[in-house]
Amino acid sequence: MGTTAVGRRDAMQLASPAVLSLGQIPGAEQLLFAGEVRDLNGVPVDNAVVSIWGIDLHAEASGRFELLAYGPRSGATPVPVTVTAPNHIPLSTSVAIDEDTKRLDDGTLAVVHTFVVETGELR
């Protein structure tokens, strides 16, 4: 039986592309968190879920995801991310938001990342 990519019950469920509008949070900056989920052969992974900040972001069929939200200022500690998809081993990692994080023309921090997941069953 393969792993499934279902959202966590306690997490906010959003479909990509998504905008999370909670108003401006003190000490936070507008942040674009985007990228794609691929397998070891570079093939886009269907039905992937990227979990960050207590949000389960359901990627598009192409494996692409995009979330515009307010997040920690650059220089903060790495942000934990979990990626799940049916018939793929879950991936737990983190992304850095630091002085090297790209800024868009409007000042938005842009974290763009490709996550690679391995085909198989949870061990």
Structure tokens at 11: 């997490």
Confidence of residue 9 (pLDDT cuts 50, 70, 90): low
Cβ-contact 67, 16 below 8 angstroms: yes
pLDDT tens digits along 41-55: 999 999 999 998 788
The reported pLDDT for the residue numbered 24 is 58
Structural domain boundaries of the chain? Answer: 12-117
Q: What is the largest CA-CA distance in the chain?
A: 46
On the 0-12 / 13-18 / 19+ scale of CB atoms within 10 A, 70 is: middle
The mean per-residue pLDDT over the stretch 89-108 comes to: 87
- Residue 74: per-residue pLDDT: 58
CATH top class, domain 12-117: mainly beta
Asked if residue 17 has pLDDT above 70, the reply is yes
Band of residue 118 on the pLDDT scale cut at 50, 70, 90: very high
Please write the tens of the pLDDT for every residue from 68-97.
Answer: 887 666 566 688 899 999 999 999 999 887
Give the residue carrying structure tokens 């906010």.
Answer: 12
